[in-house]
Amino acid sequence: MKTYCIKLRGYLDDLAKKKPSPGGGSAVCLASCLGISLIEKAISFSISKDESLRKYLGSLGELKKKVYSYIDQDGQIFEQILKAKGSSKLELIGKSEEIIITTAKACQEVFCLAGIIKSGIKKSIISDFYIGLEFIAAALKGCVFNLEANRGIFGKKSRYIKIFKRYLKSLESHS
């Protein structure tokens, strides 16, 4: 097995430092990717039980690919926001918000797919599937927190906060 600690150490150290990035937005994107990866693993181990699961790997892979680039992009944009003024600052705030909204929408898509594939997951790997879903739930909650915090900092209200909160509430009622 490979070792990953050294590669992750720099990111985690930077995340813990008193500096603007990486921050919560980047961590939300990473959590999304971790969750998707665990669900992909559960599917990969379960394909021998249910071959129809294979078709979901492509969709999950595309969602992960989209969100993965945001791990770095979120912090880069946030650093630019802190330096910008006027209309360019507003434009960057919009880009930052779009990253979080796109990530939240990806989380919603993963939950929709998970509801379809859950019954085909082997019992021996179901814990990885559920851990993946917990990462996705945490990421979606983090998206809401991030949008709310940015609203407080930048005064930009997102209509998506209520939408994502309702979605989270519906997930909790089905747990």
Percent of the chain scoring above 70 in pLDDT? 98
Sign of CA dihedral 55, 169, 67, 12: negative
- Residue 97 is encoded by which pair of tokens? 């918000």
What's the average model confidence in pLDDT over 60-66?
A: 97
Q: State pLDDT tens for residues 145-171.
A: 998 887 777 776 777 888 888 888 888
Res. 97: pLDDT tops 70 = yes
How far apart, in Å, do the first and last CA atoms of the chain sit? 35
For residues 136 and 145, what is the distance between their CA atoms, to the nearest angstrom?
14
CA 84 to chain centroid, in Å, comes to 26
Domains in the chain (CATH in brackets) are 21-173 (1.20.120.680)
% helix / strand / coil in the chain, to the nearest 5?
A: 85, 0, 15
- Residue 111 is encoded by which pair of tokens? 């939950």
pLDDT at 159: 79
Question: Which of 30-34, 48-52, 102-106 has the least mean pLDDT?
Answer: 48-52
> Would you say 160 and 104 are in contact if contact means Cβ atoms under 8 Å apart?
yes
- Residue 1 is encoded by which pair of tokens? 């097995």
